Amino acid sequence: MTPLICRYAFALCLMILSANILLAQTGTITADSLEKQRDANGFLSSFFSGKSSNVDTGKKKKPSTWSVLPSAAYNPSVGFAIGAITSGGKYFGNPENTTMSVINAGAYISTNKLSTFEFKHNAFSSENIWNLQGGVQIGKTIAKDNGLGTGRRSFGEGDFHVGGQHYENNPDEYPVRYVYIKINERIYRKLANHIYAGAGLSFNFYSHIDDDRKNIPITATHNFRYSIKNGYSPNAYAANGVLINFQFNNRDQPNRPFKGIYADVILKENETWLGSDRKALQLKVEFRKYWSLSDSNPEKVLAFWHWASYLLSGSLPYLDLPGTGSDAYGRIGRAFITGRFKGYSFVYNEAEYRFPITDNKLLSGVTFVNIESADNHRDIKLLSHWEPGAGVGLRLLFNKYTRSNLCIDYGRGSYGSSGFFLGLNEVF
């Protein structure tokens, strides 16, 4: 293990320990009564039934933890999109010692003839003895590819020779269309209070890769040149691996935490016997911390997110390299399109302030800032160049019982990048 990773792991342990001590000193946060809150689910129910959700009928209505909502958005990667999102939650044990299990799903189709379907789950058994996390993503999308590394508008692979042919540098942007299937499943066993260990499998398939280059020769595109240089087919490839996981989790809720810590360390080894084109070993680290700033309004939250992926050995196919949008929910790097920055290794940090806007908590807002860094194994070193982004967002409370919400964000970043970004539940 490199000295950089060793120092990082030590620092992470100190952060977890100190933050846990701080959390223990702050005491228990008392949430507002849910009866005073309004959500989109209740609003739609009252609209179609013709009855106000605030009217007391004298009967105790069982709260609904399942919601479906149509949605529309504009994303700079895919254009204008319409679709539907759904969210549900359930306790499989005593709520006093069991975290709510949640399911989230969504499907979209866009004006650029692109589509996506996502299904995510995070389930906890009684007393959180077992935790099952995972999901499926299937879609057809397009990415504006700028090559590897951070620090300039666009990078190429440099001059190189393959099979007697000379390739000159190509520091330009090239759109690339592709179809992807991503399946990830992890199971954790509780070892001690808030501490888990487990294993899992990850399958990432990329096919129908089309460098949408118009009059540019295919030999100039980043995907083609990287693939030829590293022994991949430029049209389709896979990165499938085995996962070993260690986790610390004392968040009060998965969808929209008000307090707590989430730390996850994953060692992933891509194996050819699972269908990978090449072997590779990656270390992925994620750390999240949430501070509730008010006892009367626990929704006022300061949140911090760190996400990093380090390639320790082997080789990854081009579209599987870590970068903007590489997290499980594709939310890294608001202000930039998916895949805008990528590298052999990648580091990301974000801070966000969340606050209610209306007294009934139907509408909330956020402000955020983030930075990301990637290397290219040549002249760009990891952490030597950072790309900043910042923005504001609006939150519509989707279901108050599961704390799910609809997120609409506007972000701006370096090189004039900007756009609106829509998602289900908080970005992290």
For 79-132, how does the pLDDT look when each residue is reduced to its tens digit (9 = 90+)? 677 888 888 888 899 998 998 898 888 888 887 778 889 999 999 999 999 999
pLDDT digits (tens, 9 = 90+) for 36-72: 777 666 555 555 555 555 544 455 555 557 777 777 6
For residue 408, being part of any structural domain is answered with yes
> Measured between alpha carbons, how far is 204 from 239 in angstroms, rounded to an integer?
5
Whether the CB-CB separation of 393 and 366 falls below 8 Å is answered with yes
pLDDT digits (tens, 9 = 90+) for 396-416: 988 888 888 888 899 999 998
* Domain carrying residue 333: 3-53+63-424
What pLDDT is stored for residue 15 in this prediction?
39
Looking at the structure of the chain, the number of domains it has is 1
For residue 164, being part of any structural domain is answered with yes
Whether the CB-CB separation of 372 and 341 falls below 8 Å is answered with yes
Check which CATH number belongs to the domain holding 385 and give it. Answer: 2.40.160.50
For residue 260, being part of any structural domain is answered with yes
What pLDDT is stored for residue 19 in this prediction?
37
> Measured between alpha carbons, how far is 308 from 326 in angstroms, rounded to an integer?
10
Q: Is the pLDDT of residue 261 over 90?
A: yes
For residue 332, being part of any structural domain is answered with yes
For residue 39, being part of any structural domain is answered with yes
Closest by CA position to 355, among listed 426, 287, 423, 262: 426
For residue 58, being part of any structural domain is answered with no
For residue 295, being part of any structural domain is answered with yes
Closest by CA position to 203, among listed 184, 222, 189: 184
* pLDDT interval class at 137 (50, 70, 90): very high
* pLDDT interval class at 7 (50, 70, 90): very low
For residue 371, being part of any structural domain is answered with yes
* pLDDT interval class at 74 (50, 70, 90): low
Q: What is the pTM of this model?
A: 0.82
pLDDT digits (tens, 9 = 90+) for 344-400: 999 999 999 999 999 888 999 999 999 999 999 888 999 999 999 999 999 998 888
> Measured between alpha carbons, how far is 86 from 192 in angstroms, rounded to an integer?
33
What pLDDT is stored for residue 172 in this prediction?
83
Q: What's the burial of 192, exposed, middle or buried (CB within 10 Å: 0-12/13-18/19+)?
A: exposed
> Measured between alpha carbons, how far is 314 from 264 in angstroms, rounded to an integer?
23
What pLDDT is stored for residue 73 in this prediction?
65
What pLDDT is stored for residue 69 in this prediction?
72
